[in-house]
Structure 1
Amino acid sequence: MTSPAATVTAPVADAPAAPAPYAPRKALLDSMAPLLVDVGVPLVSYYALKAAGLSTFAALAWSSVLPAVRTVWSVVRERRLNGLAALMVSVNAVSLLTSLAVGDPRLMLAKDSGVSSIIGLVVLVAALKGQPMMSAGVRPVLVKGDAAKDAAWQRLSAGSAAFRQAEIRFSAVWGAALLGECVVRAVGAYTVPVETMVWLGTVITSATMVLAFLVSGRMGAVPMERMIAEEVEAGQAARTAL
C-alpha cells in the first residue's frame, strides 16, 4: 500500500507522514474477529461442553454467553455505544435471559433467529429511510487507508445522490439477508433435531454471510469503489490544471 506521503513529488526530509485515517488490515481483522466469535466459537464450545457431560440446554446456554460477552466487551473497550451496538447488546441480553427462564433447548436455538430478525429489520428500515447503518463497516475496506479516498468518500457521501443510493443498497441487502436468515433458522429450530440444528445453524449463517457479501458488493460496494476512484482522479486532475 502506498502511503499518502509517497505521492508528493519533492518531500521534505524527515517530514512526518500524515497518518492514514483507516488501516485496512486492522479493519479486516476487526471485521473477521466478531464473525469468528459469534459463529465459530459457539459451535466448538457446544460440542466441547456436551463431551464434558453437560446437558443439551446447558451446553447451548453456556456457548451462547461468549458472543454476548464479546459484544459488551467491544463496547466497553471502544468506550462508544452506537445504535447498532446498543441494539445487539439489548437483543442478545433479552433473548438469552428469556431462553434461560424457559429452559427450552429449541427456544435457545430460536433466539439467534430473533436476534438476526430484529437487527435485520432495523438495518433494513433505516436503509429505506435513507440512513445506511452498514456504511461504517464497508468504508475502511473501500478507502484502504488512503487519505485521498477517505476525503473522496466524505465528499460523495455528503453531495452525491448516486453514491448515497449505493450506500443505501448495501445496507438494504444486509438487512434483507439477516431477515431471511432468521426465518430459515426459526423454522429449523422447531422442525430439525436439536443436535442437527446446532451445526446446521452455523451453515445457514455462513451461507447467508457469503451471499450477502456477494450481492451487497455488486449492488453497493463495487459502484461506491468506482465512484471514489473517479472522484480521486477528478481531484488530481483539478489540482494539476491549477
Structure 2
Amino acid sequence: MQHNGMSGILRGLGWDLGLPLVTYYGLHAAGASDTTALLAGTAGAALRMVWMAVRSRTLSPFSMVMAAVFGVGLLFTVLTGDPRFLIIKHSAMAAAIGLTFLVTALHGGRPLTLAAQQSFQPGKAGDLAEAYATDPDVRRGHRLASLVWGGGLLTEAAIRVVLVYLLPIEMMVGVSTALTVVTFAILIGWNARYLATHRPAPATAAALA
C-alpha cells in the first residue's frame, strides 16, 4: 500500500488493539474482575468507533460489522457470565473480514483489497479501478492477495478460539493482541515480498500497494 494508506492502517490498528489492552490491564491491576476490565476495554473501543464515525460523518460496512460483533460479545457475556466471549469477539471480526476477502476474491466483481485501496486513496479510485479492469496482472494480484489475507485471518480466528479455552484470561488478553500483531506482520510481509519477487509493472504495484 502507499505510505500514507499503510500509516493510517497501522495507526488505527494501534489504537484498536492498544486501547482495550491498556484499559484491561490497568483496571485488572487495580483489582477489577476480568469481566469488568474486559467490558471497560470493549466500551472504550466502541466509543472510539463511534467517535471516528461522527468525525468522518460516515458509517462504513466494516464499522457496522464491528458494532454487531461488539453487541453479540457483550450480550453473550451478560447472559453467560463468561468473559471469554469478549475475547472471542475478535475472532468473530477476523472471521467476518476473512470470509469477505475470500468471497470477493472468488465471486465478487471487486476484491476487498481493491475496495480498501480505493478507500485509502480516493483521489486515485478511478485509476485503480481502470487498472483492475484492463490489466490481468492487477486482477490476478488482487485476487491472490485477497485469498491470502482471507486465509490468514480465518486461521488467526480459529487459533484464538482454541487458545481462549486453554489459557487463563489474564494471559489470553495479551496473547490475543500478540496474535493479531503477528498475523498482520506476516500478511504485510507476504504482500511486500510478493511485490518484490514479481516486480510488477507500475500500474500493478499501485493497485496492490
User: For residues 120-155 of structure 1, what are the alpha-carbon distances to aligned partners after superposition, in whole Å with 9 as ceiling and x for unaligned?
Assistant: 1122212211431132444588x7x9x8x7765343
Residue 172 of structure 1 corresponds to which residue in structure 2?
147
> SS of the counterpart of 1:81?
coil
- Residue number among 187, 191, 199 corresponding to 2:174 in the alignment: 199
Offset of residue 48 of structure 1: 0.5
Residue 37 of structure 2 corresponds to which residue in structure 1?
59
Offset of residue 44 of structure 1: 1.3
Calculate the TM-score normalised by the size of structure 2.
Answer: 0.82
Q: Does residue 1:113 correspond to 2:91, yes or no?
A: yes
Residue 69 of structure 1 corresponds to which residue in structure 2?
47
> SS of the counterpart of 1:153?
helix
Offset of residue 28 of structure 1: 4.0
Unaligned runs of 5+ in 2: none
- Residue number among 113, 118, 135 corresponding to 2:114 in the alignment: 135
For the 8 Å contact 1:170–1:217, the answer to whether it is kept is: no
Residue 125 of structure 1 corresponds to which residue in structure 2?
103
Offset of residue 219 of structure 1: 3.7
Residue 41 of structure 1 corresponds to which residue in structure 2?
19
Offset of residue 204 of structure 1: 0.9
Tell me which amino acid in the other structure corresponds to 2:112.
M
Separation of aligned partners in 1, 2:107 and 2:197: 22
Unaligned runs of 5+ in 1: 1-22, 232-242
Larger Rg: 1
Correspondences of 1:1-242 after superposition (within 5 Å): 24-25=3-4, 27-130=5-108, 131-138=110-117, 152-219=127-194, 226-228=201-203
> SS of the counterpart of 2:165?
helix
For the 8 Å contact 2:138–2:204, the answer to whether it is kept is: no
Tell me which amino acid in the other structure corresponds to 2:12.
P
Separation of aligned partners in 1, 2:33 and 2:168: 15
Calculate the TM-score normalised by the size of structure 1.
Answer: 0.72
Q: Percent identity?
A: 32
Residue 11 of structure 1 corresponds to which residue in structure 2?
none
